[in-house]
Copies of this chain bind each other. A is one copy, B any other.
Amino acid sequence: MTNFSDKHPADIAEQLVELDTKDRNLSFLMLSGEKKAEVFPYFDLEVQQEIIKSMGDKELAEILNNIDPDDRTAFFESFPDDLIKHSINLLNEEEREIALNLIGYKEDCIARLMTPHYIQTKREKTVGDVIEHIKKYGKKAETLNFVYVIDDNNKLIDDLKIGQLLMSDSRTRIADLMDNDFVAITTTTPMEKALDIFEKYDRSALPIISEKGILVGIVTFDDILDKIKERDTEDIQKFGGVEGLDLSYVNTSLLELVKKRAGWLVVLFIGEMLTASAMGYFDDEIQKAVVLALFVPLIISSGGNTGSQAASLIIRAMALRELELKDWWYVMRKEILSGLLLGGILAAIGFLRILIWQKTGIYNYGEYWFAVAISVSVSLIFIVIWGTLSGSLIPFLLRRIGLDPATASAPFVATLVDVTGLIIYFSIAAIFLSGKLL
């Protein structure tokens, strides 16, 4: 048996995960009570659940009572209801109250990440009093960087850096250090908004207050870091056209993985069927001028590519709050111009391609090759503009109707542009080729 006593909990967790389930459960049980609670939050949810299953109520109670409240809440979120009830009954009175309180908040509220373990004081206390208080209760506190000052109604009225206290004489009154200037988040603030506040103020912890200003807990940067990672993972997966996995790729079963992908895929497939209808509508033209069909994939994919470029830029800018709904007009102008320039470049290359192939005899596009080349080039310009516009404005549209802009996935934009792109292409070809091939 390895001696784990002087290792960081994250390292112990990493080592235990390498073991097979039985050895892991056994080794975990042999850790001291305190170590158990320290190591436990570093496991994935699945491992946590396996370990819980292997334990009796006594060991479970030991862990649940010692684990930090914010980690416990996160853990409970994965429990079935009856197991939550059972677990809460294993808690001692104090921890039970904390747990019930935290579970009471909606799942996407910042309050779910709260811990009630922080240092608070009042304005009439002295620096010496606070240091004494820290000596007694500091062990449980998740951060000592800040001390929070409350009034007699438990309203938060200031936050003081620990440095300010350490640098003052121990007889200094807290009131003399206060500037009544602090940043706090209210309990019901949605997670995403709270992340913004954290990102803005560069604080390692922020106090959480009720609507009335009562200090109820703090949230520390490590939980925020996890949430930011989750948000970005979800955005990338959604943009790729997958519903958020919740679990990691490795821990998601094959069937679950297929389920999360099939939904969107079928929707896109049914949407894309319209291309078959559109092509069917133009089958006469294709029969007369097969040469037109040759460029279909090239033309529609160009719209899809520019569309997913635009969508990725806009979705990320919205996630980072660089763009708000009101900016759609600014974006639209910028993207029409971008589309015009990008479309122009592709049109020129496309024209050259047909010219060179025709002149060198690699392929014979027939008597009307010039009109074909013009049709392809002009279509490219319009379809690329249409692609950049769709890719950039659909995220706005989605947010406007209350959906996540990241739903405007690359496949979604590509599908939309494919169908409309075909219609644009064949309509433009009809203009340039009527009386010739058509």
Give the B-binding residues of A (Cβ under 8 A): 6-8, 10, 14, 131, 134-135, 138-139, 141, 143-145, 161-163, 166-167, 179-181, 183, 198-202, 204, 220-222, 225, 228-229, 232-233, 235-237, 239-242, 245, 248-250, 254, 257-258, 261-262, 264-266, 268-270, 272-273, 275-277, 279-280, 283, 286-287, 290-291, 293-298, 300-302, 304-306, 308-317, 320, 322-323, 327, 334, 337-338, 341-342, 345-346, 349-350, 353, 363, 409-411, 414-415, 418, 422
Contacts and interface: CB of A to CB of B under 8 A. Distances in A.
A229 B195 CA distance: 12
Given A6-B179, A241-B309, A411-B309, A276 B295 contact: yes
B141 A163 contact: yes
Most buried by B among A257, A261, A276, A280: A276
B312 A242 contact: yes
A321 to B, nearest CB: 10
A202 B276 contact: no
Contacts of A316: 233, 236-237, 249
A283 B290 contact: yes
A437 to B, nearest CB: 13
Given A6-B181, A305-B411, A414-B301, A317 B249 contact: yes
B162 A139 contact: no
A151 to B, nearest CB: 18
Nearest to A410: B410
Contacts of A272: 297-298, 301-302
Nearest to A316: B236
Given A228-B225, A313-B242, A418 B301 contact: yes
Nearest to A311: B240
Contact of A167 (B134, B200, B236): B134
Contact of A144 (B135, B162, B264, B273): B162
Nearest to A233: B316
B349 A312 contact: no
A332 B345 CA distance: 38
Contacts of A240: 239, 308-313, 410
A295 B293 CA distance: 11
B294 A10 contact: no
Given A258-B342, A270-B349, 11 more contacts: A8-B201, A135-B166, A144-B145, A199-B229, A204-B221, A236-B312, A239-B410, A269-B349, A272-B302, A305-B414, A309-B411
Contacts of A181: 6-8
Contacts of A290: 283, 286-287, 290, 293
A351 to B, nearest CB: 12
Nearest to A167: B135
A254 B286 contact: no
Contacts of A298: 269, 272-273, 275-276
A232 B161 CA distance: 31
A414 B265 contact: no
A313 B349 contact: no
A348 to B, nearest CB: 10
Contacts of A131: 166
Contacts of A308: 240-241, 409-411
Given A249-B313, A312-B240, A254 B337 contact: yes
A236 B236 contact: yes
A311 to B, nearest CB: 6
A167 B139 contact: yes
A341 B257 CA distance: 11
A276 B300 CA distance: 12
Contact of A265 (B14, B183, B283, B342): B342
A283 B409 CA distance: 33
Nearest to A203: B222
Given A204-B143, A225-B199, A272-B297, A320 B241 contact: no
A295 B278 CA distance: 10
Task: State the 6 A-B residue pairs at the shortest beta-carbon distance, nearest first.
Answer: A240-B312, A410-B410, A275-B297, A202-B222, A232-B232, A305-B411
